[in-house]
């Protein structure tokens, strides 16, 4: 029995015209950004270097793009794609997953975000505190003595 080919447009074949790959619309650049995550085992929060790929939209559609590809190109935005899924805790050495809700971030959303220090000041101002508690209590004398004479 011989296979019959469907000529109906509702059933495209693999050799028919295929849309361009998404990577044809972007230039990729690897970068490392800091991220603050909490270890689920020891509950310590630390800064980690996370690998990302920045995909920047090219200035014009690639050669060979049809009308559908041009329409798709007009809607594209620059974005960051996270490469690392896990990090190793700096305190206990356990490997844990990075939360996945921020594995793709659009660059235009990222540009207006405040840094951590600015965010803390804004939260303190909104809660009615005049200054964040930066005065640390004095260290007791038993912890500041020299270790000579200890056995």
Listed by start position, the domains of the chain span 22-130
Tell me what pLDDT residue 15 has: 45
Q: What proportion of the chain, given as a percentage, has pLDDT over 70? A: 75
Q: What is the pTM of this model?
A: 0.57
CB distance 33 to 52 below 8 Å: yes
Helix (H, G, I), strand (E, B) or coil at 47: strand
In order of 4, 7, the CA distances from 1 in angstroms are 9, 18
Cα 49 to chain center, whole Å?
11
Average pLDDT score over residue span 32-36:
86
Tell me what pLDDT residue 112 has: 63
* Site of tokens 């995909």: 55
Residue 35 burial class via C-beta count within 10 angstroms: exposed 0-12, middle 13-18, buried 19 and up: middle
CB distance 78 to 107 below 8 Å: yes
Q: Is the pLDDT of residue 16 over 50?
A: no
Helix (H, G, I), strand (E, B) or coil at 104: strand
Rounded to whole angstroms, the Cα distance separating 43 from 53 reads 29
pLDDT digits (tens, 9 = 90+) for 36-93: 888 888 888 888 888 988 888 888 887 777 888 788 888 888 888 888 888 898 888 8
């Amino acid at each position: 029995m011989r296979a019959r080919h469907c000529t109906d447009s509702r059933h495209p074949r693999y050799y028919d015209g295929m849309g361009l790959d998404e990577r044809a619309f972007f230039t990729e650049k690897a970068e490392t950004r800091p991220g603050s995550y909490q270890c689920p085992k020891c509950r310590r929060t630390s800064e980690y270097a996370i690998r990302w790929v920045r995909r920047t939209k090219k200035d014009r559609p690639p050669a060979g793009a049809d009308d559908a590809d041009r329409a798709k190109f007009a809607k594209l935005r620059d974005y960051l794609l996270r490469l690392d899924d896990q990090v190793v805790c700096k305190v206990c050495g356990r490997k844990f997953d990075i939360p996945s809700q921020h594995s793709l971030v659009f660059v235009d959303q990222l540009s207006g975000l405040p840094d951590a220090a600015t965010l803390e000041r804004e939260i303190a101002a909104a809660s009615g505190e005049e200054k964040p508690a930066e005065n640390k209590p004095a260290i007791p004398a038993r912890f500041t003595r020299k270790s000579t004479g200890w056995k």
